[in-house]
Amino acid sequence: MRHVIGALLEQESTVTVVDMEAGLEHLSRGTGRHVDTLIVTLEPYYKSLETARRCAELGREIGIPRIVAVANKTRDDEDRAAIQEFAARHGLTLIGEIPMDDRLRKADLAGRAPIDEIDSPAIEAIRSLVVSLNQPA
Amino acid sequence: MKIAIAGKGGTGKTTIVGTLARVFARQGRQVLAIDADSNPNLALTLGLSREQTAALVPLPRTLLEERTDAAGAKTVVLRLSPDEIAQQFGVSTPDGVRMILMGKVDHAGAG
C-alpha cells in the first residue's frame, strides 16, 4: 500500500490530501518524504491527545518537515486550555481550533456535506486553516 | 502541498481534510484526495451522495505486482502509472476534487 500512496503523492496535483490512520501505516521513510505537512487532530480527551502525540512523533521519525496540530470539537474554555497545555508540553504547534458545532452533526444526518453549512463556526475555522497552511513552512 | 491528516478515529479528521480539500479547490487549485482510512468516509464530505459513495470502486488488490529480477532481487512494481490510477479509479466530486479510494492493495499472486 505504501508503494501506491508513494506513487500517488508524486503526482502533479497542486494539493494532495491523504486521510489516514493514526499509526501512519501507509507511510514509511520512503513515501513519507513526499508528504510536506502532517496535521494531527486533537480532541479534548486523553486518548485523543496521546494518539496525536504519538502520531506527531511518528511523523518526525518519517521525516515529514511540517507537523501541525488542530484542536477539534472544543466545547468551552476548559477544553481549549487542556489542549493548549498538552500541545505546549509536548511541542505540538497548534495552528487552529475547530469548535464543536451541532450544525455538522445535523448536516451529516441530512446527507449534506459540511462545507455548505451557513454560519457554521466550525466551517469558518476550517477555512482559516487554509490560510495557515498556505503560509510557507 | 502534500498533506496527510491523522488522528484517533472519530476525531473529525475526515470532516477537516475533506472540507479543506474543497476550500482549496474553490480557490482554483487542482486537488487530489486519497482516502486511506480503513473506515473510508471522505466521499460524503467531498459532496458525493450516499448512492455515489456506495458505488465507489476502491483500488484493486492486484495493482501491485511483485517481480523478481535476474539477480533474484524482489521488487514491488505498480501495474499502472499514478496518472493512470487517478484517471481510472479517481472520481470527480462537485468542487472538482479528484478522489481515490484506497481499499486494500496487496501483492498479486500472493494467493
Q: What is the pLDDT of residues B44-79, one digit of tens each?
A: 999 998 889 888 888 888 888 888 888 888 888 888
Which residues have CB under 8 Å from A72's CB, separation 6+? A41, A42, A43, A97, A98, B11, B12, B13, B16
Higher pLDDT, B76 or A28: B76
Candidates B14, B16, B106: best to mutate against A (most CBs of A within 10 A) is B16
User: A36 and B9: CB-CB below 8 Å?
Assistant: no
Residue in B8, B24, B50 nearest the CB of A15: B24
Count residue pairs from A and B with Cβ separation < 8 A.
Answer: 210
User: Based on the number of CB atoms within 10 Å of its own CB, is B93 exposed (0-12), middle (13-18) or buried (19 or more)?
Assistant: buried
Banded model confidence at residue A30, pLDDT cuts 50, 70, 90: low
- CA-nearest of A75, A101, A37 to B15 is A101
Question: pLDDT tens digits, residue range A32-50?
Answer: 668 899 999 999 999 999 9
Q: Is 0.90 topped by the overall pTM?
A: no
Q: Which three cell numbers stand for residue A53?
A: 502525540
Q: Over chain A, what is the mean pLDDT?
A: 88
Domains belonging to chain A, first-starting first, are: 35-134 (3.40.50.300)
Cα–Cα distance, A43 to A62 (Å, whole number): 24
This complex has an ipTM of 0.89
Cα–Cα distance, B61 to B50 (Å, whole number): 24
Look up residue B42 and give its DSSP letter.
H
Candidates B27, B29, B34: best to mutate against A (most CBs of A within 10 A) is B34
Per-domain residue ranges of chain B: 13-58+81-101
